[in-house]
Amino acid sequence: MVNLLTREVREKVIKKKREFLLTQILVFFLLFWGLFSSASYFLLNFWEAKNKKILTKIVGDREEATKASHKIDSLNLLLKSLQERYKLYTQLSSCKILWYKKLTELQEALPDEMWIRNLYFDISQGKLSLQASLINLTNKNLTSFLGKFVNDLKFTSFFKGFREVLLSRVRRRTHDEFEIMDFNLDLVLK
C-alpha cells in the first residue's frame, strides 16, 4: 500500500495517534489506580477494624486481669488471715489430755492395794501430781512393788501424753499392824 498523504499530514496523524494512545494509557492508569485505591481502602479498613476489635478485647482482658489481680491480692490476705485464725483457734482448743479418759485409765492402772489421797493437775505447770498410798496385804516387799508399779506405769495407756514420771517423798508407816507406804508421783506432760 502506498501512502499518498503528504509528510505534514502524516506527522499530524501520527501525533494524533500518540496523543490518543497516551490518553488511553492515562485513563487505564486512572481506572487501575481507582480500583487499586478502592481495594486497598477496603483491605486497610478491614485490617484496622480487626486490630481495633482485638485491641478492645485485650484491653477488656487487661482490665479484668488487673481487677482479678487486686482480688487475688485481697483473697491472699484474707486466706492468710483465715489460716492464722484457724491455727490460733486450733491451738486454743487443743486438749493434750481428756481428763475423763485419763482418770478412768488411772483407775484401771492402780493395783488393788493402792489408793490416791490427793490428785492435782495444773495446766500452766504441765504436771499431774499424785499423792498415793500402798498397803501391804500379802506380805510383799512394798519397795520393789512400788518400783515395779512406777516402771510398769510407763507402758500403760494412762501414761500416753506424759513425758516422764517422777517418784518422790516415799514414807513408810504402820496403821493397825498394816504396813503402808505413802509416796508422791509427778507426771510431766509432753
Partner 1 sequence: MRKDQLNLLLLVILTIAIAAEGYFSFSRVKRINKLREDIKKIKNELRGFGNYRERLKDLEDKSSLWQKKTREKEQYIFWEEDISFFIKEITNIAKLLSIEFFSIDSHPVEEVSSFPDLKIKILKIPLSISMQEDFFKLIDFLKNIENFNKFVKIENVRISTQQNDIYHHRINISISVLVKREI
In the complex, which residues of this chain contact partner 1 (CB under 8 A)? Answer: 16, 19-20, 22-23, 26-27, 29-30, 33-34, 36-37, 40-41, 44, 47-48, 51-52, 54-55, 58-59, 61-62, 65, 68-69, 71-72, 75-76, 78-79, 81-83, 85-86, 88-90, 92-93, 95, 98-100, 103-104, 107, 115-124
Distance in Å, CB of 79 to partner 1, minimum: 5
Quickly count: other Cβ atoms within 10 Å of residue 38's Cβ. 10
Which amino acid is residue 140, in one-letter code?
K
In terms of CB distance, is 121 or 145 closer to partner 1?
121
Distance in Å, CB of 112 to partner 1, minimum: 14
In terms of CB distance, is 5 or 43 closer to partner 1?
43
Determine the Cα–Cα distance for residues 77 and 83; give it in Å rounded to an integer: 10
Task: Give 78's Cβ-side CA count (13 Å radius).
Answer: 6
Those residues with Cβ within 8 angstroms of residue 187's Cβ, 6 or more apart along the chain or in another chain? 127, 128, 129, 130, 159, 162, 164, 165, 166
Q: Give me the sign of the Cα torsion angle 149, 155, 156, 158.
A: positive
In terms of CB distance, is 2 or 175 closer to partner 1?
175
In terms of CB distance, is 81 or 143 closer to partner 1?
81
In terms of CB distance, is 33 or 178 closer to partner 1?
33
Distance in Å, CB of 31 to partner 1, minimum: 10
Which amino acid is residue 87, in one-letter code?
K
Distance in Å, CB of 74 to partner 1, minimum: 10
3-state percent breakdown (helix, strand, coil) of the chain, nearest 5: 60, 25, 20
